[in-house]
Amino acid sequence: MQANLLLFMQGGIFIALLLAASVIDIKKRIIPDTICLFIAFTGLICFEPVKLFGVLAAMPILLAALVWGGLGGGDIKLMAASGIVLGFTGSIAAMVIGLTAMLLFYVFHAIVQRLRGRECPKAYPLAPFLSIGCIAIYFMNTGGITL
């Protein structure tokens, strides 16, 4: 009973913080460090030492930012902090889901914009899509589908 209450509390805080990061990223194109810090602290609610390796799951985003650019440090910190909650494999799966969601959105949006005769934006906020992946994996993990 106690563990379920802690998971419920952790999930509520985690989702609220991810939603806040998404809204701020959409409006201001920034993810505040305080939100990332609070997400990392959320991982301490149901702490498992092995989940600390989840921080390393942000490395692909860091490498992509260094090689190609276009990604902000907030996206890297968001995934590193989420890695403490989701663990390494969960964070990698969350990134795959989030980046796939972004790709599908971009393709659909680009088609609609071209049909309207408009230019497609060059950059999109990434936090909403990463948050979709993180929330999906959190529910999968707490529902018994562990990655």
Domain extents in the chain: 1-143
CB 144 within 8 A of CB 96: no
What would the pLDDT profile of 65-83 be if each residue is shown by its tens digit?
Answer: 888 877 789 999 999 999 9
The closest of 35, 78, 34 to 57, measured between CA atoms, is 78
CB 90 within 8 A of CB 54: yes
What would the pLDDT profile of 5-47 be if each residue is shown by its tens digit?
Answer: 888 899 999 999 999 999 999 999 999 999 999 999 999 998 8
d(CA 44, CA 32): 20
Secondary structure class of 44 (helix, strand, coil): coil
Question: What φ, ψ does residue 65 adopt, rounded to 5°?
Answer: -65, -40
What would the pLDDT profile of 106-126 be if each residue is shown by its tens digit?
Answer: 999 999 999 999 988 878 899
The closest of 12, 56, 16, 14 to 39, measured between CA atoms, is 14
Stated length of the chain: 147
Q: What is the pTM of this model?
A: 0.91
d(CA 132, CA 128): 6
CB 6 within 8 A of CB 42: no
DSSP 113: H
- Termini Cα distance of the chain: 23
